[in-house]
């Protein structure tokens, strides 16, 4: 189980954009890999413009990471429902992502290394 989740510092600087707006930029992002799934970039909450995010009532449970809560991304033209998630009290295997946010790779959201 310990090898199922790996978390390491994501190299370089990362940015996340939605609807043409930069939501955040970080040189302290983490990459989480879970089993055979592609890696996911997690941004420190302090590096994200939280004014663009609205907390929702949506939650989910991962047996390896714990309980996630979700946020909508509000752009000028639309609201991207439950496009962001966070593990606020993650299990020990994912403790490093506490207070970090991840973004779904939908067409309107771009996460990239710059």
**Which pLDDT tens digit goes with each residue over 61-71?**
999 999 999 99
C-alpha distances (whole Å) from 72 to each of 32, 36, 44, 68, 81 are 21, 27, 17, 14, 5
| Per-residue pLDDT tens over the stretch 28-66 | 999 999 988 899 999 999 999 999 999 999 999 999 999
Total tally of structural domains belonging to the chain: 1
Determine how many CB atoms are found less than 10 A away from the CB of residue 85: 22
3-class SS shares of the chain: helix, strand, coil, % to 5? 10, 55, 35
Residue 85 has a pLDDT of 98
Domain with residue 73: its CATH number is 2.170.150.40
| Beta partners for residue 32, in sequence order | 7, 40
pTM of the predicted protein model:
0.93
Domain, as residue range, for 28: 5-113
């Amino acid at each position: 189980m310990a090898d199922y989740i790996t978390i390491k510092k994501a190299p370089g600087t990362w940015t996340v954009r939605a609807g043409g707006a930069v939501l955040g930029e970080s040189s302290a992002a983490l990459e989480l890999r879970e089993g055979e799934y592609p890696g996911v970039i997690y941004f420190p909450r302090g590096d994200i413009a939280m004014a663009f995010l609205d907390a929702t009532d949506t939650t989910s449970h991962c047996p390896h990471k714990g309980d996630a809560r979700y946020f909508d991304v509000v752009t000028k033209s639309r609201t991207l429902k439950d496009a962001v998630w966070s593990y606020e009290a993650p299990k020990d295997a994912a403790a490093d992502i506490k207070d970090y946010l991840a973004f779904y790779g939908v067409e309107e959201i771009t996460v990239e290394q710059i």
